[in-house]
Structure 1
Amino acid sequence: MYNIKDYKNILIQIRMVCLSPERDTQGSESFYQPKMAFMILFLLLCLSFILNTTNAQPRNSIIRPGSSLSPNSNSHWLSESGQFAFGFYRYGNGFSVGIWFEKIQQKTVVWTANRDDPPFSSDVTLLLSTKGRLIVQPKQGQEILIASASQLASSASMLDSGNFVLFNSSSAIIWQTFDFPTDTILPGQHLLPGHSLVSNASETNHTRGKFLLVMQTDGNLVQYPVDSIELEAAYWNTKTYGAGDNVTLNLDSNGTLYLLNATALLVQNITEKASVSGKPIYRATIDADGIFRLYSRSFNQFDNWSIQWSSSENKCDPKGFCGVNSYCTLMDRDPVCQCPPGFDFIDQGQKDLGCHKNYNVDACTGKSEQMFDFDELISVSWEVDAYSSLSSIPKDACREECFRDCNCEAALYQIESQLCKKLKLPLRFGKRELSGQVITLLKIGAALDRGGERKQKELRVDVLIIIISCLTLAFLVVVCCSVLVYRHRNVRKKGISNLDSNGLVEDVTLRSFTYEELKHATNNFTDNIGKGAFGTVFRGVISNGSRIVAIKRLDKVVAEGEREFNNEMKTIGNTHHKNLVQLLGYCHEGSNMLLVYEYMRNGSLADFLFGSRLKTDWEGRIAITLNIARGILYLHEECETQIIHCDIKPENILMDEKGCAKIADFGLAKLLMPNQTKTYTGIRGTRGHVAPEWWHQNSPITVKADVYSFGIMLLEIICCRRSLDMMFQTMKQYL
């Protein structure tokens, strides 16, 4: 391929040939014949067009000053192919400004503006001002700057490369998101010397997290914990230090990560060309767990991102994954933070924050031997920040040396070299090793229990007293067990299915929320995502913003609302299947009755069949059909209490992020108990999906009602149209 400079040289040479005379065999000067001159002129015009096209920016959908976006209507600007979008995306209880892949169902954000700022409310406006600045304007308060260049911006554009740019009046780029990456780089993007990628705090929290990928000015690409950018804290690097001060990290369209110096010479291929069929898309991201990964994905809406390469296979490698005084260990290949003996988690809800001592004995004031114990952690290493080292001594001698030194709170003993290193708290970068050659000796308080009272290290008791105590205890256990068995039998006779004063069963193991908790989680019930026969569904965030849920508020005007709520508790509390939407909790405070479900990111099956621009292929539709059938089979034959849904339709089939179909609203149907097979019900389903004998007649409901509805829905899945569509002519309204 020629570059711009090559094309210019070719044009210059052609011009020289065209403008210079040619001597004939007689020595006289003559010009090219008209036909040859025309061919050369045509070639000149073609090359000029190529040169102009190469110099021109791929500007599509040019955004002029005065153009604006709002979260609730025109919320984004698309690139030319529609691959990328720039604008507002939903985040937490509000919105953020960023760039994401638009053509895939799974929302994958690759750039975020002002990522540490709180979410915007729904009444703000994103504006390319007439002064050439990109700003967010709230209804009240000060405007927030998104992008500003040293020159006035005459226009902007979302490019197909995933780069959002500002142009000056000469169509030159004066600002671009590629120069200010967050946690991701895209094909064609360069991570410049002195620049870095910073991980997100979590998968759902895009504020700056714990880990950093730095393109250093010495040519080395290095990963650090954010709060410890020092050589000892690095946990991965390309070992290319000394390669120069202008080395950049690059990702090409073939999925190759590589380092390039200022003279365009290859320094190192970090990955080889990815062997992925078709035309996949790529991104390289430092994830919230601290590992730098290269991802690929096809354009199939049900595909997930596939990992092509990662900087580490051990998820405990990133230093600082666990906080101070805690160490990382793998359980089923997933990292888990644990506290050593004598320590408790600072926050049980966020175990990665670290641990603190659960005793309050000071090592330099309590010098009595009875004040301390030593506990050993096998194969757990820490950051080697020793204030003193002793070589060629046995482990017991290391323990003794640490005990005598009031400054020593732990010792790291290396078995093979017999090296003893004395450490002070806090301990950092703890990690379980596989070598088994490291022992951590922890000096923990033995004198105080959690209440602060003295423990006796040795307790001598007369043998007779011990025997009597044991017999007494055994007698009490027998009495207690007898009482419990007696009470249990009485409860069984009375019927364990009786409701309490609020109409709720006692054995439900779901989480109970307060109304205020759910009101706060849904931002005062402002994010309405749907409405069904029994109530309205809102989007909410629980667990300190780490989990998105769907919260259904049952309508107070429903005459049997409380009874249906109790049915939901009794049934779904003991109903679990991968093709049923999972109920996580509930709220029942007076007239406020709410249910908390897992959040299904991809909407309903109706969205896929009737509303999506990307139609599902045959394999996808077959998989969806089998998922629904398995869920119905479980409701009818496999769960403890038979359940008839009575309203099987695409709107009640929800899709998770993997494209798996799950049945929703089954807990609101009339339950069929084993001795009530002829029960009549007032739930009549949706016209077009329910069998005529149950729609027009007062016939008893059986499982056949769901089978009929499933058959109608199967036709809709095959034909990708509704069974009853009033948009068609009269004869074609019914499928």
Structure 2
Amino acid sequence: MRTFLFCTSFLFYAAFVSGSLFSESISPNFTASYYQFIDNKGAFLLSRNNGTFEVAIFNPGGQTNFYLCVIHVASGTIIWSANADAPISSSGKMDLTVHGISIADEDGSLKWSTPPLRSPVHALHLTEMGNLVLLDQFNGSLWESFHFPTDTIVIGQRLPEGAMLSSAVSTNNLSTGDYRLAITDSDAILQWKGQAYWKLSMDDRAYTNANYVVEYMAINRTGLFLFSHNGSAVVIQMSLSPSDFRIAQLDASGHFIIRRFSGSDGEQEFVGPINGCQIPLVCGRIGLCVAAQSNGPTCSCPQGFHEVSQNSSGCVPSGSSLPLACYSTKNGSQLNSSALSYSMLGFGMDYFAIDFSEPVRYGVNLSVCQEFCTSDCSCLAIFYDNSSGSCYALENDLGSIISSTTYEDDMLGYIKVIVGAPSDVHNTYSSQSQQFPVIALVLLPFTGLLLMVVLGFLWWRRRKVSNREIKLGHASSLSSGDLDSFYIPGLPQRFDLEELEVATDNFKTQIGSGGFGAVYKGTLPDKSVVAVKKITSLGVQGKKEFCTEIAVIGSIHHVNLVKLRGFCAQGRQRLLVYEYMNRGSLDKTLFGSGPVLEWQERFEIALGTARGLAYLHTGCEQKIIHCDVKPENILLHDQFQAKISDFGLSKLLSPEQSSLFTTMRGTRGYLAPEWLTNSAISEKTDVYSFGMVLLELVSGRKNCSTRTQSHSMDNSNSGGGQSTSSSGSGVVYFPLLALDMHEQGRYMELADPRLEGRVTSEEVEKLVRVALCCVHEEPSWRPNMVNVVGMLEGSIPLGQPRVESLNFLRFYGRRFAEASMIKEENGQSDFMLFPQANDSTTTTTSESHVCFSYISSQQISGPR
């Protein structure tokens, strides 16, 4: 026994002298210091086998502060630190005892230790994943570094709901900084001093799969995920390229960054937020941030402010000072409001936290908003939405201001400033009041005349509005003033009918029409171009009900959804004001006689539309089923960016209603079979319609049409497909032809011939297979839109269409051929067996439309 103890002591002494690295585990009564393992740069413990991670007493950047760290060896990345807020000197030590780990400085003062443990420690173990674990004698875990994350997580680590990552002050100072990544029960949120500035769910690269409660966040070989149901359900996912090792870190700058590693080389895969101006202190306090295309954000000061110093720590108002949050005078009383004023930031300003916070007041004027801030000592600034009357308060801490390139939000910013002592204000008022009698004698007559003119104008305008309502036949209906008698949070800007008549030149230029009414081009006083839709067939009649739905629609923001600028509910008139899409609707571009859409443009339109629908189905507070997805409702902006219009007008569904709703109607040619069989309507109905639109993007023509001119395919190349797809010369039901060609692997015969070979068979196959999966007769076999986006992006494998659920297309094909022959026998150029009022399809010379609204619910099933 004595020999064994002697050998053990000798080995420990040899290790202490030489400072050799230990592999995987060490036992209690172990002490380590930086100097003891200086040859290994403070490292004393390696993970097993490949030594991916090490434990070291380390001084990042060669500073004088030392920390107990777990380090990724190849990249030098610190993935965890024990004493981040209590560094030690180079002579400080770490002790491992049966009670746990303790870190003390050279004078013996305790800086950090593990909490009390339930059992004595048997070993300190570093796993291959980088987890530092204290084990008992049965190898049970007593404490793990993974349970106390700092600013980083790695593959194999979970960040549970309620936990957070905290940034370091800098790469060399590991003390806790001001940025947090918090995991809530529904999202992952970046915060600065309690103010949110980014959410994972709002990033274009992330997709919401389910509305379950989030249990934890993790990264793995395929991406970043928020999991529920103990990992069996994905709430939010962000797919990345497969990698065996990656790190997710909340950087000291406030960015959440994911990097993948191959050896020592790290590649940045993801950064959020991608817009540098969204980082709260990117330009210091009240610094003005302008997003640049290449060299990152540029900083300056708003008008009326100047730089504090040359180190860009922020800006201060010229000629006045900034109050502190909940400031007080020497005797403890709050400063008199007369000493406060507001410095306007100018137009086109924004603040990083506005999109993530609720207004403190709704539907108020600017003076009420300022009065609220004046009375609250924690309020340092306000942002006021001039269109909705929403008042946002910025409290306790101020970050950078964002310069917006668009004025569509109509947001005004005001910084609270101290303009002088109350006595100065009083003296100024006294000196001015002495001049009142002389000024009054001169100004009173002019004031009285001006007041009479204003009152006369108001009487004339009121009489004119009343006359218009009588002419419109609704003299007994609610007046426009009644709209103010109820309160709806978040209501978009309300326009008067007179304003929109002026903007549209009395509805002179019609640019489209659809199921809910005609659309006119207009120009608002701020020179912005808008599209004004006159609602003619909306089921909601009451003003309050109409405005309630508009408030919900106006609160939905996504890059692939047309933005609602405002509305008008006056008398019986219902109008919606949308952002103007300068390239018009997809049907005019795709089926018109203009330049042909290139394949990449078609693909981007398909992907953008899919993302917009995925957001409506899963990203909104209330699930929204569009119910009328078609090319006419897909609008195009610059660079052919696709945006979905008319969403939310059909019906807003709660989760409980979504499986019971069966009363809506869409447009022929895009209707899912469940419409006509009185089956339950769900978001899978939109998936079917999207699949039909996808086929039209492939072929460049309507699915429900006959081909008589240049758009016809060469029937000799159709093989067996033509016999089942059509009958009669030039008659093709394209979805069935797509199924036939898919079965034969002849995808190129489906591509728009106008592309003249500027597309590959693999590219066509991708869209055709996705489309056929979307149009399965059985709704449960259709993918959801989140998975459709994944298939288009390539992050998940392409689905395999099920022929047994596509046989109904053969029945459709026969009925289409029969209808076409009836058309030819009657000598009609465009024969509609059952026209619907809400179809705005425009017939071209190369196409005439025959669709299937006449098919009965008994006929729809067809062969199975």
**TM-score, normalisation: structure 2:** 0.37
**TM-score, normalisation: structure 1:** 0.43
Higher helix share: 2
